[in-house]
A and B are shown apart, each in its own frame.
Chain A
Amino acid sequence: MAFKLKSRSVLPGFGLTLGLTLTYLSLVVLIPLAALFLKTATIPWDRLWLMISEPRVVASYKLTFGASLVAAAVSALLGFIIAWTLVRYRFPGRRIIDAIIDMPFALPTAVSGIALTALLSKNGWIGRYLEPLGIKAAFSPLGITIALVFIGLPFVVRTLQPALEELDGEAEEAAASLGASRFTTFVRVIFPSILPALLTGFALAFARAIGEYGSVVFIAGNMPMKTEITSLLIVTKLEQFDIAAASALAVVMLLASFAVLLAINVLQWRIAKRYRGVM
């Protein structure tokens, strides 16, 4: 009895609830996901490599990962400005702004997609002012990036807000009373303590962006080699009944987003360890 799978409890229903949980989880999530990996495993290596490295596919990776990276960086910057403003300042309309930050979560992606396209196309409210400047916002990588900023912004704001609220100001006061300027205090005191949250928000926005579909397909224009994201290419392969290629691409994308999420977990674990070391 040195090692127990379950510790004793007086509450009933452990076997029933855990059994149901595992059954439902397996049926809905685990078995279908396993089917994807099994399907891909049946493809011979040389064919698999050709599928995931043909030029049109590589162009879609570059676009998807490039636009997602830029969008996550922009989300991080904008998200910082918004989170700082919401936590530190009091101004009329603050609570409304705070509530609508989650708009991109609440709006269905297809709805956001057509709305952003209507705004940014050359007759749109914003697009018509960009057109004379020679900026093509819709049906271009820029449009894709804007849609991904829209989707990624709430992730950054919502991970930064609690971190900023936790800063109690004492360290800032100490730095200021030791003669540090506001700028130095920010760079040396504030920024390092919110950096983990900022990186987590960035990574969450990035992970969401690489798999995003609905808000991007309308604004992308979907030209092969130019504005075709990998998610769309998976759909295209499926429509051509090339299920093997669709699965292969899906596995590449899935492994990429798992890697990003694993990186977040490792980061958080290391930070937690560092704090424990201090205490």
Chain B
Amino acid sequence: MSATLTDKRRAVRDPHWLRGLMIGGTLLAAGLLLLLPLAVIFIEAFRDGWRGYLESFNDPYAWQAIRLTIIAAAVAVPLNLVFGLVASWAIAKFDFFGKSFLISLIDLPFAVSPVISGLVYVLMFGLQGWLGPWLSANNLQIIFAAPGIILATVFVTFPFVARELIPLMQEQGSEEEQAALSLGASGWQTFWRVTLPNVKWALLYGVILCNARAMGEFGAVAVVSGHIRGKTNTLPLHIELLYNEYNSRAAFAMASLLALLGVATLAVKTIIEWRLRQVQLASLEPSTVEPS
């Protein structure tokens, strides 16, 4: 009996040489393709030690770029956070005609390449755009100015929060909300006390991904920015500028900030995923330990 079991086990297990080869291949690919690019950023940034690294930040344009990056994220993330909550309430708690089509439309910005995401706003608000003549007559500027950068950032980060919340809220259904309402809670109370606590981890997950993309976006903002140093450069655009001026130490120093943000985002994401799995396992437990 035990012999056939080990035979069976052997039959579905890969031979040792194959295991070694696959693990080796994975470590090599992850090392060369994922870790080495990350390492090179910090090594180039610290080429001249700490002093050289800090010197790279002695640049008012860099601080203006950091400021604009933070402003763009500070507008885009809350807007898309509120949108995510509103859209997922409408989609997950009600049944209506055209719902799956609406979900596809919300995901649309993911299918649009970054350069095109910027271009559509140039076509709307640029000098030759639909609203261009009216804007310039009223002395308003959107393209080649901060509003254009903010708009492009809002566009590329549009689906992040909504797409984390919608599937989760659909799965949770609306029984708890119905119970709260029938016990006399108002709509707002139900939302704050029942719905929001139920989705908080997915919400946080969506927000950190949204923020990472907002601060790191390059293609879309490159198109609408006009690259005016100290005015319409975000951090990624400032990195491009420094790099093209062969000021590679400073370019990598700026890149190290965004790389740190990326690593922090990955770390938080991994912790949240781990937590969500714990919650899921805990809810599965009673059925798996049923006495036979």
Contact = CB atoms under 8 A, between A and B. Distances in A.
Given A29-B158, A30-B105, A81-B29, A106 B44 contact: no
A194 interface: no
Nearest to B154: A28
A254 B120 CA distance: 12
Choose among B12, B38, B96, B259 the residue with the greatest number of A CB atoms under 10 Å from its CB.
B12
Nearest to A81: B25
B46 to A, nearest CB: 13
A13 B89 contact: yes
B11 A243 contact: no
Contact of A182 (B15, B187, B191): B15
A28 B159 CA distance: 11
Given A25-B105, A111-B255, A243-B128, A11 B181 contact: yes
Given A17-B89, A32-B121, A211 B115 contact: yes
Interface in A168-223: 169, 172-173, 176-177, 182, 185, 207, 210-214, 218
Contacts of B219: 109, 213-214, 231
Interface stretch (B48-56, B264-272, B280-288): B264-272
A172 B12 CA distance: 6
Contacts of A185: 11-12
B122 A114 contact: no
Interface residues of A, number: 88
Contacts of B199: none
B205 interface: no
A255 B15 CA distance: 46
A191 to B, nearest CB: 14
Nearest to B243: A114
Nearest to A211: B113
Given A6-B96, A108-B215, A88 B14 contact: yes
A254 B22 contact: no
Contacts of A17: 86-87, 89-90
Interface in B33-76: 33-38, 40-41, 44
Contacts of B89: 13, 17
Contact of A253 (B32, B113, B265): B113
B172 interface: no
Nearest to B109: A29
B34 A103 contact: yes
B25 A234 contact: no
B155 A29 contact: yes
A28 B105 CA distance: 12
Contact of A99 (B12, B36, B87, B266): B266
B97 A6 contact: yes
A28 B115 contact: no
Contacts, number: 274
Nearest to A106: B262
A20 to B, nearest CB: 5
A20 B86 CA distance: 7
Contacts of B158: 28-29
B278 interface: no
A32 to B, nearest CB: 4
A18 B96 contact: yes
Contacts of A105: 209
Interface stretch (A48-56, A115-123, A135-143, A270-278): A115-123
Contact of B123 (A29, A32, A119): A32
A35 interface: yes
Contact of B258 (A104, A107, A119, A153): A107
Given A29-B155, A247-B119, A6 B94 contact: yes
16 contacts: A28-B154, A33-B120, A35-B123, A81-B29, A85-B22, A103-B266, A107-B262, A109-B218, A111-B255, A126-B32, A149-B33, A207-B111, A211-B115, A213-B222, A214-B236, A257-B112
Interface of A: 5-7, 9-14, 17-18, 20-21, 24-25, 28-33, 35-36, 39, 78, 81-82, 84-86, 88-89, 91, 93, 97, 99-112, 114-116, 118-119, 124-126, 149-150, 153, 169, 172-173, 176-177, 182, 185, 207, 210-214, 218, 231, 234-235, 238, 241, 243, 246-247, 250, 253-254, 257-258, 261
Interface of B: 8, 11-12, 14-15, 19, 22-23, 25-27, 29-30, 32-38, 40-41, 44, 83, 86-87, 89-91, 93-97, 102, 105-106, 108-109, 111-116, 119-124, 126, 128-130, 151, 154-155, 158, 174, 177-178, 181-182, 187, 190-191, 209, 212, 215-219, 222-223, 236-237, 239-240, 243, 248, 251-252, 255, 258-259, 262-263, 265-267, 269-270
Given A36-B123, A118-B248, A182-B14, 10 more contacts: A14-B94, A17-B90, A99-B267, A100-B30, A173-B12, A210-B113, A218-B240, A243-B123, A243-B126, A247-B123
